[in-house]
Amino acid sequence: MVNRSKTIVAVKLFALQLILVTGTASVTRGADPVLGTWKLDVVHSKYIPGPGPRSETRVYSESPTGIRVKVTTVDAKGKTETTEYPTNFDGKDYVQPGTNPGDTVSLTRNNDHHASAVLKHADKIMANVERFISDDGQTMTITFKGTAANGDAIDNRSIYERVGPETKR
């Protein structure tokens, strides 16, 4: 039962990571470099405590209110889950859909290639997430450092390769 609880907590925290770090629309500079389709490079990614997903595809597209994200993940046991959500990068805390009450995220766009997120539970910081896009726009790295509900340290580094063109309005 304890191992199953740890797995459930790890999956929920990983799902939060998926929800957290997304792109924003760039009004004055043209298309945001995050727009498009990204596939997880499982071999070069790391998940502590693990295990990581078998595969993941992330699609970022512009919407009238910003960026819409669709994430399809196949977890370590082969279960597929798809989530879709809008994003808002104003630094305010927002309750995330599908999470526990009191679970919030605040998103900040640092520059065109770097975004940050802070995950909280009951106003306590549980994780910091950073998203970086390479200068050539072909590689995205998401780091997730925090603490699981059971107290275990989480230190994930997910590497994604662009596989689709930018998705514009």
Domain ranges for the chain, please list them: 2-162
HEC letters along the chain: CHHHHHHHHHHHHHHHHHHHCCCCCCCCCCCCCCCEEEEECCCCCEEECCCCCCEEEEEEEEECCEEEEEEEEECCCCCEEEEEEECCCCCCCEECCCCCCCEEEEEEEEECCEEEEEEEECCEEEEEEEEEECCCCCEEEEEEEEECCCCCEEEEEEEEEECCCCCCC
CATH class of 2-162: mainly beta
Summarize the confidence of residues 12-25 as an average pLDDT.
44
pLDDT of residue 16: 47
Which position has the higher pLDDT, 37 or 93?
37
pLDDT surpasses 70 at 14: no
pLDDT of residue 34: 92
Which range among 9-13, 53-57, 99-103 shows the weakest confidence by mean pLDDT? 9-13
What would the pLDDT profile of 92-135 be if each residue is shown by its tens digit?
Answer: 888 776 666 568 888 899 998 999 999 888 888 999 999 999 99
Which position has the higher pLDDT, 25 or 8?
8
pLDDT of residue 79: 97
Distance CA 162, CA 36 (A): 7
Distance CA 80, CA 18 (A): 14
Which position has the higher pLDDT, 96 or 29?
96
Q: How many Cβ atoms sit within 10 Å of the Cβ of residue 30? A: 10
